Structure 1
Amino acid sequence: MSDPRQGLTVTHRRYVPYGHAHYAGDLVDGAYVLAMFGDVATEVCIRTDGDEGLFASYSDVQFRAPVRAGDVLEATATVTRVGTRSRTLDFEARVVCRGRPDKGPSAAEALAEPIVVVTATGTVVVPPAGA
């Protein structure tokens, strides 16, 4: 029998401010997306177990495309396995809007096709039921 928590998906969106650019070309470090994954994992734990839980580990992280200041990122976590106290989550971060400085200093556009920038698999742990 499948656990009803399996398959739960939570999504957050966030604008990437220029203050987070650390590299030429307004590039943002990968840790920014991993922090978003932590936030979305916290909401998953709250929804599934009524507790913020703790992030235990990543078993895989793939940086697939650059993140730039001015992007709007969408981070999604999906519960793929439910253990006694652990939950395995698949993560995906996508750029859904991107700045277009070639068209003007504040120009931007919503992308017709989001750009997958980071994928990951991680494990969170929650307190025992009833604790």
Structure 2
Amino acid sequence: MTDARLGLTVTHRRYVPHAHAHYGGALVDGAYTLGLFGDVATEVAIRMDGDEGLLAGYSEVRFLGPVRAGDVLEASAEVVRVGRRSRELRCWAQVVARAEPARGPSAARMLEPPLLVVEAAATLVVPGPAGAP
């Protein structure tokens, strides 16, 4: 029997503020995107289990492209396996809009298609039923 929770997908969008740029070229560190994965994983746990759960770790993380200040970043997580107290998630982030400072200080454009910048596999742990070990 297939678990109906498989395939549940949560997506958040966030503007990447200039305060998060740490490197030349307005680059943002990879931890910024991993933090967004934590946010979408929390919503997955709330939707599935009525609890915030805990993002226990990543089995794989691949940084595929730059994240820059001024980007609009979309972070998503999909449930790919459901255990008794754990859920495996496929996470990805893509830039859907990017600043274009060469055109002007507030110039930006939508990216079509979006630019895939990070992929990860994560494990989410939720509490067991009340009274369970």
Task: Report the TM-score range of the alignment, normalised by the length of the smaller protein.
Answer: over 0.9
Question: Where does residue 119 of structure 2 map in the other structure?
Answer: 119
For structure 1, list consecutive stretches of 5 or more residues without a partner in the other structure: none
- Matching of residues 16-27 of structure 1 within 5 Å: 16-27=16-27
**Percent of aligned positions with the same letter in both sequences?**
65
For structure 2, list consecutive stretches of 5 or more residues without a partner in the other structure: none
CA offsets 1:66-106 (integer angstroms, 9 cap, x no match): 00000000000000000000000000100000000111111
Question: Where does residue 12 of structure 1 map in the other structure?
Answer: 12
Give the C-alpha shift of residue 129 in structure 1: 2.8
The TM-score with structure 2 as length reference comes to 0.97
Give the C-alpha shift of residue 112 in structure 1: 1.2
Letter in 2 for 1:56: A
Question: Where does residue 86 of structure 1 map in the other structure?
Answer: 86
Question: Where does residue 70 of structure 1 map in the other structure?
Answer: 70
Aligned residues: 131
The TM-score with structure 1 as length reference comes to 0.98
Give the C-alpha shift of residue 130 in structure 1: 4.2
Question: Where does residue 40 of structure 1 map in the other structure?
Answer: 40
Give the C-alpha shift of residue 46 in structure 1: 0.2
Letter in 1 for 2:116: V
Q: Distance in 1 between matches of 2:88 and 2:111?
A: 30
Q: Distance in 2 between matches of 1:37 and 1:112?
A: 22
CA RMSD of aligned residues (A): 0.8
Q: Distance in 1 between matches of 2:57 and 2:90?
A: 12
4+ residue runs of structure 1 moved beyond 3 angstroms?
none
CA offsets 1:36-73 (integer angstroms, 9 cap, x no match): 00000000000000000001110000000000000000
Question: Where does residue 51 of structure 1 map in the other structure?
Answer: 51
